[in-house]
Amino acid sequence: RDKMENESGGPEMPLVCLTDFQAQARERLSKSSWDFIEGGAGEGITRDDNIAAFKKIRLRPRYLRDVSEVDTRTTIQGEEISAPICVSPSGFHCLAWPDGEMSTSRAAQAAGVCYVTSTFASCSFEDIVAAAPGGLRWFQLYVQPDQQLNKQLVQRVESLGFKALVITVDAPIVGNRRHDIRNQLDLKMNLMLKDLRSPKERNSIPCLQTSAISTSFCWNDLSWFQSITRLPIILKGILTKEDAELAVKHNVHGIIVSNHGGRQLDEVPSSIDALTEVVAAVNGKIEVYLDGGVRTGNDVLKALALGAKCIFLGRPILWGLACKGEHGVREILNILKNEFCISMTLTGCRSIAEINRNLIQFSNL
């Protein structure tokens, strides 16, 4: 009956979970845009495993606790957020919604969470900040071969009030994304990246040949970044205890355990499976976060139980944008926050501090 109502212009079914948004976004976006957002590298094994790995973890609820008040608030790098659910850096939000990152920024501010703005944002950093001046923002950097450009970008976002520098480490080259190759996708020709052009070029060139990412950036180069900024530096893309130990040794402030949503090297561990190894190696010295595969409040709870300080959402943010712009992103964040609060309540956790390893077990599915 509902389907018939929809076809005759009646009320649509409400979108009640993140995968509802996924299904509607797929209908609304062009094939090449959808493939770009959803696509993984290689055979898509890691992309799919990011989600499947969460489902192999079972919860161990504790009952007969007073859960009349449940507090989802926590902090990242000393800044309070309303829940441990933040927005991952992803480029080209204008593919999903005309206002792009400005809408994302407003939604994150309204939800009281952190939004990590991508180097490859399709709106200028100034416009993103102006859209939500009170929001907590971090900046994600793809290290450029031109050191002067790196310095300009970092100092520009620091002066704009961004609170941390997230350096992506798992993309010295772009992964083998078959869908984009088949679709002959050329984002450079379709979108103007205002932020990677010199002022002179900005006025004269209608599109940018997306600048190369440095293939030579290595551990010893981190000290140069530390010398040009006071922002805490967070490394995104760490998957092993060896690299986690090096991150601590090089005095970074945090790690985002991530495999780039399965978009870089296929057949690496899922983010949730890599998390345990990284958390153990770091041993509480720096904050550890996770992105990749989070789709439900239970997933958030599982990540925190395994030692993540918060999770970052990638694709679901773009689904929300594609469906309803800023309101869609707000709904995505609110649905996940509400699900997480229910998960906390039903496992007997009244605060983030009460979420621990005893809450979970790994099943043999």
Pick out the residues of the known binding site.
89-91, 118, 140, 142, 168, 177, 236, 258, 260, 263, 291-295, 314-315
pLDDT single digits (tens) 73-119: 999 999 999 999 999 999 999 999 999 999 999 999 999 999 999 99
Residue 260 is a catalytic residue: yes
Query: With bands split at pLDDT 50, 70 and 90, how would you rate the model's confidence at 9?
Result: low
pLDDT of residue 212: 78
Query: Does 201 score more than 60 pLDDT?
Result: no
Burial of residue 296 (CB within 10 Å: 0-12, 13-18, 19+) is buried
Query: With bands split at pLDDT 50, 70 and 90, how would you rate the model's confidence at 365?
Result: low
Please state, in angstroms and rounded to a whole number, the distance separating the CA atoms of residues 274 and 254: 15
pLDDT single digits (tens) 122-169: 999 999 999 999 999 999 999 999 999 999 999 999 999 999 999 999
Note whether 292 and 315 are within 8 A (CB).
no
Pick out the residues of the known binding site for glyoxylate.
142, 177, 260, 263
> Hey, what long-range contacts does 99-103 have (CB within 8 A, 24 or more apart)?
99/123, 99/131, 99/325, 99/326, 100/321, 101/127, 101/128, 101/131, 102/127, 102/128, 102/131, 102/132, 103/131, 103/321, 103/325, 103/326, 103/329
- Of all residues in the chain, the percent with pLDDT exceeding 70 is 90
Among 93, 250, 260, 327, the one annotated catalytic? 260
88-99 per-residue burial string, b: 16 or more CB within 10 A, e: under 16 = bbbbbbbbbbeb
Model confidence pTM above 0.85: yes
